[in-house]
Chain A
Amino acid sequence: MSKIEFLMGNEAIALGALHAGVNVVCGYPGTPSTEILETVAKMRDDSVYVEWSVNEKAALEVAAGASYSGARTLVTMKQVGLNVASDPVMSLAYVGVKGGMVIVSADDPGPISSQTEQDTRHFSRFSKLPCFDPSSPEEAYEMVFEAFEISEKYNTPVILRPTTRVCHACASVKVKDNKIIHIPDGFVKDTMRWVIFPKTSYMNHIRIEKRYDELSKQFCESKFNFINGTGKIGIACGGISYAYVCEAVETLNAWDKVKIFKVGTPHPFPEKLAVDFIRSADKILVCEELDPVIERELIFLCGKYNLQCNIFGKYTDNSPVAGENTVESIMGYIADFLGIDYSEKIYKPDVNLPVRPPVLCAGCPHRASFYAVKKAMKGKKAVFSGDIGCYTLGNAMPLDMVDTCLCMGADVTIAQGIHRIDSDTVNFSFIGDSTFFASGITGVINAVYNNTEIVLIVLDNSTTAMTGQQPHPGTGVTMMGDIVNKISIEKILEGIGLEYIKTVNPFNLEESVNAVKEAAALPGVKAIIFKAPCIAVSKPQKYLTVNNKCIKCKKCINEIGCPALVYTDKGVIIEKGLCTGCGLCMQICPVNAIE
């Protein structure tokens, strides 16, 4: 029994897991994966437990414990989140699971919203975990079922690796009416199985290497891997690139010329199917995003089986090594490969298009916090280490307050490293509340323990803003809907041993500037918590207006760059639809023209 529903790829993955009888779902927000766990929370019945964990490592370990106890589990994260979770993932690959575990790691070609263009398919090879790579929301839904089956058959976590254009695409998806009921049988003590030791790891290493061939054979029969077409020119592809290849071949009217090899399980690679494909093709073009994973496998198989076939792709400069594919780019590669005349003119209208870099929202408390620090440090030597979140946008002009950004939590520790070399500089580290809980605390302990000198600025806006307002340990609500004690950032810092901790409302400019000056002058590790809610989780106050005292000096615009402040030939005006009445500009105007 089935029905058609219009689902985003991430919703399809969530429904797939729910229909496959998932019992426990954990994750940490990260574009493009966030909506998976949110959909589970919205659609689950009482038998399903769901949580935003403090970070990906915690999420994976909670899920591992549940899987040891027989539960089907789903863990969701973005690709850089998998780096955070990699310690438990690598060991769990050896130890294995009892209840099925599917790890969703969403890759982001482009990158559109990420620090790196890393390829989870490599991680799957590195960790020796089977990997599914969906080409559409429909396929993502189906793959979740098979991933759970493989996971339980081989007692191994399985990776599902969608990319942004699958996660955030919507499609009419055929979904099941009923769900599989999976009842966990509880944790059964077995130290040889659940306690990782060098000796058992040696045995497990042999076990997981051995399953490669068996899985590779099984994947040759999988509906997610197939060869389509009768032409002599081979095109190998996987993920969203498969959809683009189909569009391109259709548009170029080249179905009679090509044969397509679609790979839905990049690891273990469907070897026999691939060999058949190589043998039947005169030459092969590989269309894939991120790293040349399929391309390398095909080249490897040519060597392994002594096959004569030229493989073209990223290694041969037929396609670029970075950035995402599009229908047009793939059309270009295929046309070129087939000798069809096709050229896509680069569109460059001869006008000055508006430039729209993402900016902090009007009324964003981060703007006020950055401005206060900037003002307090004017003329002083200071370095501002930033972190991952909306507040990375504090780098934009006119604030220009982010000197470094690396990965979650790194602001706190990068600042310490800079201090060791530039000890006459005031080193600031800016961290959001969710990032603080995710991976900032250990960095603060490191700072206090090693007796360094930094000013920690916690930008506490009571939510995980960048990914769309998820709750975290400081918000007092969970994804199960429970109201719990809010974990206090002040008390954590107190417990670590900080002596100067001040909580300030950043919209009180004078008090904020004074706090920063005070903290910067003290020795050791100091903290200021700028506490004001994100505009997305609070009610705006009445919008402000500009009166006739305005002298058109543009100081408000030039100092803080709020999108609600617009300069026109009549002077500065305030966009009432954007203004939240935060009052920061009022405190900057030299002639009291804003009220």
Chain B
Amino acid sequence: MNTYNCLLCGVGGQGTVLASKLIAYAAMQKNMNVRTSETIGMAQRGGSVVSHVRCGDNINSPIIAKHTAQVLIAFEPGEAVRCLDYLSPDGVVIVNNKAVMPTTANFGAQYDENEMFDYLKKNVKNLIIVDGNDICNKCNSNKVLNIALLAVAAKTNKLSIGIDELKKAIKFKIPEKFHDINIAAVDYAVQRYI
């Protein structure tokens, strides 16, 4: 495999950008070429956001082509379904089990998270559902969801980086006072989900 494509999707404010930066940094430490692309601007205000991360040889576009992402990291189940056409046929989906209700749901635009999980289970061969709340509670921080999902992705061997490389990236990219909780989140997520 020469090119690693990872799509991260979620809702503005969930921490997809930092997660994509960690993958990019760790891949660059392995002398890989990296391109990423982020959603910035008006859509960030509670809207759907995606980060594209591409590592390896021969990459031109910063945007992943449909059906070519080996890994889809979804911070929210509805967003996983929305972005599923990016996934390659043998790709893996790592999805947080907690739905984020849109404000519009309060005005009749109903959103049923179970419908999303049913759809994912039916359409995804390699699906890993992560209990984000559980990990956040174990680590006493609601900020470690992105790191936990990333750790599960790294453990699948389909991401361009492994667990040790992820830990190094955390130590380099995140302020020192948050190192321990984030490393704990990695360890717990890996032990719990693989």
Tell me, yes or no, whether B89 is within 8 Å of chain A by CB.
Answer: no
Q: Per-residue CB proximity of A167-178 to B under 8 Å, as 1/0?
A: 011111000000
Tell me, yes or no, whether A354 is within 8 Å of chain B by CB.
Answer: yes
Quick one: which of B36, B63, B110 contacts A170, CB cutoff 8 A? B36
Instruction: Provide the bound-state CA to CA distance between A116 and B60, in Å.
Output: 27
Q: A168 contacts B37, CB within 8 Å? A: yes
In the complex, how many angstroms separate the beta carbon of B55 from the nearest chain A beta carbon? 10
Q: A168 contacts B115, CB within 8 Å? A: no
A247 touching B60 in the complex, CB below 8 Å, given contacts A169-B37, A170-B36, A354-B102: yes
In the complex, how many angstroms separate the beta carbon of A240 from the nearest chain B beta carbon? 8
Quick one: which of A172, A558, A563, A577 contacts B46, CB cutoff 8 A? A563
Tell me, yes or no, whether B65 is within 8 Å of chain A by CB.
Answer: yes
A352 touching B102 in the complex, CB below 8 Å, given contacts A250-B58, A331-B65, A361-B45: no
In this complex, what residue of B is CB-closest to A135? B60
Q: Enumerate A559-578 residues with CB–CB distance to B below 8 Å.
A: 561-563, 565-567, 577
In the complex, how many angstroms separate the beta carbon of A522 from the nearest chain B beta carbon? 35
Tell me, yes or no, whether A380 is within 8 Å of chain B by CB.
Answer: no
Instruction: Please give, as numbers and ranges, the residues of chain A lying within 8 Å of B85 by CB-CB distance.
Output: 347
Q: Enumerate B89-117 residues with CB–CB distance to A below 8 Å.
A: 99-107, 109-112, 115-116
Q: A466 contacts B63, CB within 8 Å? A: no
In this complex, what residue of B is CB-closest to A249? B60
Instruction: Please give, as numbers and ranges, the residues of chain B lying within 8 Å of A352 by CB-CB distance.
Output: 110-112, 115
Q: B34 contacts A172, CB within 8 Å? A: yes
Instruction: Provide the bound-state CA to CA distance between A314 and B96, in Å.
Output: 42
Instruction: Provide the bound-state CA to CA distance between A165 and B62, in Å.
Output: 8
In this complex, what residue of B is CB-closest to A575? B101
Instruction: Provide the bound-state CA to CA distance between A113 and B44, in Å.
Output: 11
Pick out which of these stretches binds chain A: B76-84, B147-155, B158-166, B177-185: B76-84
Tell me, yes or no, whether B48 is within 8 Å of chain A by CB.
Answer: yes
In the complex, how many angstroms separate the beta carbon of A342 from the nearest chain B beta carbon? 12
Instruction: Provide the bound-state CA to CA distance between A242 and B159, in Å.
Output: 27
A243 touching B61 in the complex, CB below 8 Å, given contacts A31-B40, A168-B40, A359-B45: yes
Q: Enumerate B35-72 residues with CB–CB distance to A below 8 Å.
A: 35-48, 58, 60-63, 65-66
Q: B25 contacts A565, CB within 8 Å? A: no
Quick one: which of B41, B65, B110 contacts A31, CB cutoff 8 A? B41
Tell me, yes or no, whether B144 is within 8 Å of chain A by CB.
Answer: no
Total contacting residues, chain A, CB less than 8 A: 55
Instruction: Please give, as numbers and ranges, the residues of chain B lying within 8 Å of A355 by CB-CB distance.
Output: 102, 104, 109
Instruction: Please give, as numbers and ranges, the residues of chain B lying within 8 Å of A251 by CB-CB distance.
Output: 65
A6 touching B111 in the complex, CB below 8 Å, given contacts A113-B42, A250-B58: no
A354 touching B105 in the complex, CB below 8 Å, given contacts A170-B37, A247-B60, A327-B63: yes
Instruction: Please give, as numbers and ranges, the residues of chain B lying within 8 Å of A331 by CB-CB distance.
Output: 65
Instruction: Please give, as numbers and ranges, the residues of chain B lying within 8 Å of A357 by CB-CB distance.
Output: 47, 104
Quick one: which of A246, A328, A390, A557 contacts B45, CB cutoff 8 A? A390
Instruction: Provide the bound-state CA to CA distance between A350 and B28, in Å.
Output: 39
Q: Per-residue CB proximity of A219-257 to B under 8 Å, as 1/0?
A: 000000000000000000000101110110011000000
Tell me, yes or no, whether B33 is within 8 Å of chain A by CB.
Answer: yes
Instruction: Please give, as numbers and ranges, the residues of chain B lying within 8 Å of A563 by CB-CB distance.
Output: 46, 103
In this complex, what residue of B is CB-closest to A247? B61
Quick one: which of A168, A354, A393 contacts B78, CB cutoff 8 A? A354
Instruction: Provide the bound-state CA to CA distance between A172 and B82, in Å.
Output: 29
In the complex, how many angstroms separate the beta carbon of B38 from the nearest chain A beta carbon? 5
In this complex, what residue of A is CB-closest to B59? A247
A354 touching B101 in the complex, CB below 8 Å, given contacts A165-B62, A251-B65: yes
Instruction: Please give, as numbers and ranges, the residues of chain A lying within 8 Å of B111 by CB-CB distance.
Output: 352-354
Q: A566 contacts B106, CB within 8 Å? A: yes
Q: B60 contacts A172, CB within 8 Å? A: no
Instruction: Provide the bound-state CA to CA distance between A31 and B36, in Å.
Output: 18
Tell me, yes or no, whether A398 is within 8 Å of chain B by CB.
Answer: yes
Number of A-B residue pairs having CB atoms within 8 Å of each other in the complex: 146
Instruction: Provide the bound-state CA to CA distance between A466 and B43, in Å.
Output: 10
Instruction: Provide the bound-state CA to CA distance between A31 and B38, in Å.
Output: 13
Quick one: which of A31, A113, A347, A398 contacts B84, CB cutoff 8 A? A347
Q: B84 contacts A349, CB within 8 Å? A: yes
Instruction: Please give, as numbers and ranges, the residues of chain A lying within 8 Å of B58 by CB-CB distance.
Output: 250
Tell me, yes or no, whether A397 is within 8 Å of chain B by CB.
Answer: yes
Q: Enumerate B10-25 residues with CB–CB distance to A below 8 Å.
A: 11-12, 24-25
Q: A6 contacts B34, CB within 8 Å? A: yes
In this complex, what residue of A is CB-closest to B11? A356
Q: B65 contacts A247, CB within 8 Å? A: yes
Instruction: Please give, as numbers and ranges, the residues of chain B lying within 8 Å of A466 by CB-CB distance.
Output: 42
Instruction: Provide the bound-state CA to CA distance between A558 and B40, in Å.
Output: 29
Q: B28 contacts A358, CB within 8 Å? A: no
A165 touching B37 in the complex, CB below 8 Å, given contacts A246-B60, A358-B47: yes
Tell me, yes or no, whether B119 is within 8 Å of chain A by CB.
Answer: yes
Tell me, yes or no, whether B142 is within 8 Å of chain A by CB.
Answer: yes
Instruction: Provide the bound-state CA to CA distance between A327 and B69, in Å.
Output: 14
Q: Per-residue CB proximity of A318-358 to B under 8 Å, as 1/0?
A: 00000000111001000000000000100101111111111
Q: A351 contacts B81, CB within 8 Å? A: yes
Instruction: Please give, as numbers and ranges, the residues of chain A lying within 8 Å of B38 by CB-CB distance.
Output: 168, 170
Q: B66 contacts A328, CB within 8 Å? A: yes
Quick one: which of B28, B62, B100, B102 contacts A243, CB cutoff 8 A? B62
Quick one: which of B36, B44, B81 contacts A169, CB cutoff 8 A? B36
Q: A360 contacts B45, CB within 8 Å? A: yes
In this complex, what residue of A is CB-closest to B142? A577
Q: B65 contacts A112, CB within 8 Å? A: no
Quick one: which of A31, A247, A351, A390 contacts B115, CB cutoff 8 A? A351
Instruction: Provide the bound-state CA to CA distance between A349 and B122, in Å.
Output: 12
Instruction: Please give, as numbers and ranges, the residues of chain B lying within 8 Å of A328 by CB-CB distance.
Output: 65-66
Instruction: Please give, as numbers and ranges, the residues of chain B lying within 8 Å of A112 by CB-CB distance.
Output: 41-43
Instruction: Please give, as numbers and ranges, the residues of chain B lying within 8 Å of A567 by CB-CB distance.
Output: 106
A32 touching B65 in the complex, CB below 8 Å, given contacts A172-B28, A356-B11, A361-B46: no
Instruction: Provide the bound-state CA to CA distance between A582 and B58, in Å.
Output: 51
Q: B106 contacts A565, CB within 8 Å? A: yes
Instruction: Provide the bound-state CA to CA distance between A517 and B43, in Å.
Output: 34
For the complex with contacts A326-B63, A352-B111, A359-B46, 8 further pairs of A-B residues with Cβ separation under 8 Å are A4-B28, A165-B63, A168-B40, A169-B37, A170-B62, A349-B119, A356-B47, A566-B106
Q: List 30 A-B contacts (CB under 8 A).
A: A4-B28, A6-B24, A112-B43, A168-B40, A169-B35, A170-B24, A170-B35, A171-B34, A172-B34, A243-B60, A327-B61, A331-B65, A347-B84, A347-B85, A351-B81, A352-B115, A353-B81, A354-B78, A354-B100, A354-B105, A357-B47, A358-B12, A358-B43, A358-B45, A358-B46, A361-B46, A397-B107, A558-B107, A562-B103, A566-B101
Binding site for A on B (CB under 8 A): 11-12, 24-25, 28, 33-48, 58, 60-63, 65-66, 78, 81-82, 84-85, 99-107, 109-112, 115-116, 119, 142
The 6 closest A-B pairs by CB, nearest first: A169-B62, A113-B41, A347-B85, A358-B45, A31-B41, A246-B60
